Structure 1
Amino acid sequence: MIALGQMRRRPAAFVGLAVALFLAVATVTLFGSLFAADVTAPDAARDAAAGPGLLVIAGAFGEIAVLVAFFVVVNALGFALRQQHRELALLRTIAATPRQTRRLVRGQVVATALLVAGPGWVVGAVAARHFLTELQGRGMAAPGVRVPGTPVPMLVALAAVLAVGLTASSVAARRISRIAPAAALTASSTEHARGGAPRLLAGTGALVGGGLLLRLSATQPPDQPDQAGQAALLGSLVLLIAVALLGPPAARALAAVLGVPVRAVAPCAGWLADANLRGYARRLSSAVVPVALLVGLSGTMLIMTSTSERAASMTATSVTSDTDVWLRQAELAMLVCFAAVSTVNTLVAVTAERRREFALLRLVGATRVQLLRMLTAEAVLTAALGVLLGAAVAGAASAAFSVAVTGSAMPAVPVATCWWIVVGAGVLTVPGILATGLRAVRGPAAELVGGGRD
């Protein structure tokens, strides 16, 4: 009852989580349906198909989808909890145990997943039929293969998404459930400078793991570009997880460098924006990581595709084909959907929760126009930091892939297309922050500082 009451009181806080879980249900249903189509197909139909087959395609897409979904759900759930921080802290002060707090969060995740399961099943089933039709048209599935009418893929999708959501809830609820009840009431107004040894160790482990995956990609033989590509893509994802874990100090250092020209161009707003970003490194990292995820995964996919095409031209062999390119584009579209949801949800949540900070600045003399100038400078710096980190990950992953398929660490970079990725990151970042900021600076400043509005 308490979990559902919180959801009814703050529905906007759960929009990002609902969209992330919806995408997860739809994608797992899609690839689970393809898996079921291959299992129920006659042996003759399987033998007639060219390429890796439905099982390999569904497995490769599915594992990437689950990993990215976990990343996005943890992020979205974390912000949903931050919106409820005071209520959860108050529950802790009136004798709610850490176990009860975690159970409440799990209840919210389960309720949200059940709410979006139906639409996710419908979209996933329809997408599976369209995807199978495309594969049949490209000769990668026999004409007689059909998506079965069994509900098993849908139930498996719901079970997988619930497992992802419940695991994410244990990660996201860890801090609020473990700190002392009295400290919980003040924890939301401060930011800890240290991330703790477990976070540092996990980040270092992810960094090493990502490097090992890239080494595995680079050592694949030239006639196995698919294996090299999957290893490089997984490596880029693991490196982005390392960026998320080790993000605050890295973001603070990069912000100090990029803040110099911003302070020169806009002395007042630029100085305040730079001070805000460096002073709240964890908040900055939360905003930067989704942008880096979008740029890193998109850039890796595009550069690997371009590198494969160059390798095919150099060797006059079928290292790549139109079907390979189409599959990578489909995988890219899926990843971009998850990354875009994470980016928009994070930026909106990070900016919206600063209402009291903006109100205090207004009370000491700042105008709404000055606050929007400061937010513009912050948005530009956030986008630039995310693009730089994402580009670094994409460069490392695509270089490893290039070594495997061409023997050179210099991949073929489609500059014009990559610029569109940068533009897309800016379009998602800057308008999202400014639109939320416009809403956040409205209302009586004294009332907001005093906690009269939420």
Structure 2
Amino acid sequence: MVLLALGRIRRQPAAFAGLAVALLLAIATVTLFGSLFATGLATPEAARDAVEGPGLMVIAGAFGEIAVLVAFFVVVNALGFALRQQHRELALLRTVAATPRQARRLVRCQVVAVTVLVTVPGWAGGAVAARLLLAELQGRGMAAPGVGVPWTPVPMLVASAAAFVVALVASAVAARRVTRLAPAAALTAGSTEQGRTGVPRLLAGAGALVGGGFLLRLAATRPSGELDKAGQAALLGSLVLLIGVALVGPLAARVLVAVLGLPVRVLAPRTGWSADANLRGYARRLSSAVVPVALLVGLSGTMTIMTTTAEHASGAATGSVTSDTDVWLRQAELALLLCFAAVSTVNTLVAVTAERRREFALLRLVGATWSQLMRMLTVEAVLTAAVGVLLGAAVAGAASAAFSIAVTGSAVPSVPGGAGWLVAGAVALTAPVILGTGLRAVRGPAAEQAGGARD
């Protein structure tokens, strides 16, 4: 089984590239903040008291809380697509007498192999990042001078253990669909999509949305002097809401596309109709493409608006509720979260578009031209970006309003003029990735691709 798993990775490394990048970032992130926390523990008490600001352990905890959750959210997302791309191969193994247990064991071996491959680079990246961040914090007076990152394997071991646990649990959930079906049904299920979202998934999504609402209420009721706690609660609430959006995504995406697709169908009857029908007919696939865009807009929008709101509150208040160091810390956290969200967006959109190779080939066989397919993909890319931006903006608006209530007493936050660039960036990232991957997917003999051949 191990040799079979390694052979699959060697033959099609591109199918596991997104998972490898996500795991690498997750391990590096845990190593980074674990190393900073260990540095704070190793710092003498007198040196800690002499430093102004929250201190290394608080910074590591506040940064790491959100960053680690986002990192593993990206891992779960990437893993789902890595398995989805080999759904047909797993189904074929079932038809030649492989048992469900053997199929799950194959998936576990693949996940373990990829995790092992990226563990050492992840450790190295996290250790280097910890030293660079510590030097920056020392330069800004937020860490004691002369203190270095201590050598301890604990952050690295914790990072690896967390990556293995999350990856194995996520792989068990992702492999459940193909292994619980009869072999023939599993083979046909790889090219079809379930028409309805399951009740357990909807209940879990509703629970996440309610939990996110409670966190936002907690953020809104924090005293104005507890800016950091209100900000962390609002940011964590936005992430939980985004998880809820991911769970109820097929239903929400279908509704939004029905609304947004109406003017498209009027303005471009043929292309618009095809794009709208594809998106609504494959709501689960659409949701998979929309969620990372919503994650990108939701997290970056929340961080940007919260920072601007805090700055304006500082200028209006008698006692400052923010400082240059607070702003820098939030900007650094925003940059890290943007990195994760961008990786998730690119990984997901590439996987979602690439797996439609057979669909594009069938359309070519019934007469669709290359230009017609690209126009259809362009409309789909615009609608996908629009749905993701709307969902992300809704989450960012709710989280920012909760933070604004805590800081200023008003539910109307201070929206910076540059917020539009976040939307433009999400669209600029979404459309080229979809079109570039689609352009590659429509190449080659249509008859061969329609038969299920893969690169």
Aligned to 1:389: 391
Distance 1:27 1:71 in 2: 13
CA deviation vs aligned residue, 1:106-162 (integer Å, no higher than 9, x gap) = 221111111111221121111111111111122211113210122322222212222
> In structure 2, how many angstroms separate the alpha carbons of the residues matched to 1:371 and 1:205?
39
Q: How does 1:112-123 map to 2 (within 5 A)?
A: 112-123=114-125
Per mean C-alpha deviation after superposition, the further-off stretch among 298-307 and 117-126 is 117-126
Whole-Å Cα distance in 2 between the matches of residues 59 and 14 of structure 1? 31
For residue 102 of structure 1, report the CA deviation from its aligned partner: 2.3
The alpha-carbon deviation at position 55 of structure 1 amounts to: 1.1
User: What amino acid maps onto 2:241 in structure 1?
Assistant: L
Q: Which residue of 2 aligns with 1:355?
A: 357
1:447 is matched with which residue? 448
Q: Contact 2:20/2:118 (CA < 8 Å) preserved in 1?
A: yes
For the 8 Å contact 2:300–2:422, the answer to whether it is kept is yes
Mapping 1:37-436, distance limit 5 Å: 37-415=39-417, 417-436=418-437
What amino acid maps onto 2:437 in structure 1? T
Q: What amino acid is the match of 1:56?
A: V
Is contact 1:74–1:172 with CA below 8 Å preserved after alignment?
A: no
Q: State the partner residue of 1:17.
A: 19
Given the two structures, how large is their TM-score scaled by the length of structure 2?
0.97
Task: Map Cα deviations across residues 403-434 of structure 1 (whole Å, 9 max, x no partner).
Answer: 0000000000013x211111111111100011
Distance 1:108 1:56 in 2: 37
In structure 2, the CA distance between the partners of 1:164 and 1:61, relative to structure 1 (3 Å rule), is farther
How many angstroms apart in 2 are the aligned matches of 1:49 and 1:236?
A: 31
Instruction: Note the residue ranges of structure 1 that are not aligned, 5 or more in a row.
Output: none
Question: For residues 137 and 183 of structure 1, what CA distance do their matches in structure 2 show?
Answer: 61
Instruction: Give the alignment's TM-score, normalised by structure 1.
Output: 0.97
Q: Is the 8 A contact 1:70 1:168 kept in 2?
A: no
CA RMSD of superposed structures (Å): 1.2
Distance 1:316 1:56, change over 3 A: same
Deviations 1:178-233 (A, max 9, x none): 22222111111110012212101100100100000000000000000100000000
Does the aligned pair in 1 maintain the 2:275–2:377 contact within 8 Å?
A: yes
Quick one: which amino acid aligns to residue 450 of structure 2? V
Matched AA of 1:431? P
Q: Indicate the percent of aligned positions where both proteins have the same amino acid.
A: 78
Q: Is residue 51–residue 140 contact of structure 1 (8 Å, CA) maintained in 2?
A: yes
Corresponding residue SS for 1:286:
helix
For residues 322-358 of structure 1, the C-alpha deviation after alignment (integer angstroms, 9 at most, x for no partner) is: 1111111111111111111111111111111111111
Q: Is the 8 A contact 1:45 1:144 kept in 2?
A: no
Aligned-partner Cα distance in 2 for 1:251–1:67: 24
1:256-307 residue CA offsets vs partner (Å, 9 max, x unmatched): 1111222223221111101111111111100000000000000000000001
Conserved? CA contact 1:233–1:397, under 8 Å: yes
Deviations for 1:14-62, whole angstroms, at most 9, x for unmatched residues? 0000000011111111111101111111111111122221111111222
Mapped to 1, the partners of 2:305 and 2:213 lie a distance apart of: 18
The Cα offsets for residues 79-110 of structure 1, whole Å up to 9 and x where unpaired, read as 11111111111222333333332222222111
Letter paired with 1:436: T
Change (3 A) 1:453 1:150: closer
* Amino acid aligned to 1:438: L
Q: Secondary structure at the match of 1:143?
A: coil
Q: Which moved more, 1:64-73 or 1:123-132?
A: 64-73
CA offsets, 1:386-406, max 9 Å, x none? 000000000000000000000
Return the alpha-carbon distance in structure 2 between the equivalents of residues 225 and 171 of structure 1.
Answer: 38
Deviates more, 1:213-222 or 1:419-428: 419-428
Query: In the alignment, is the contact (CA less than 8 A) between 2:29 and 2:71 conserved in 1?
Result: no
Partners in 2 of 1:199 and 1:221 — Cα distance? 36
**Contact residue 400 and residue 409 of structure 1 kept, 8 A:** yes
Partner of 2:217, secondary structure, is helix
**Structure-2 separation of matches of 1:367 and 1:320:** 57
In the aligned structure 1, how far is the partner of 2:323 from the partner of 2:28?
28
The one-letter code matched in structure 2 to 1:444 is: P
**Structure 2 unpaired stretches of 5+:** none
Q: Which moved more, 1:203-212 or 1:48-57?
A: 48-57
SS at match of 1:366: coil
CA distance in 1, matches of 2:197, 2:97: 27
Shift of 1:453: 4.0
Distance 1:31 1:321, change over 3 A: same
Residues 1:29 and 2:34 aligned together: no
Q: Is the 8 A contact 1:291 1:383 kept in 2?
A: yes
CA distance in 2, matches of 1:400, 1:98: 47
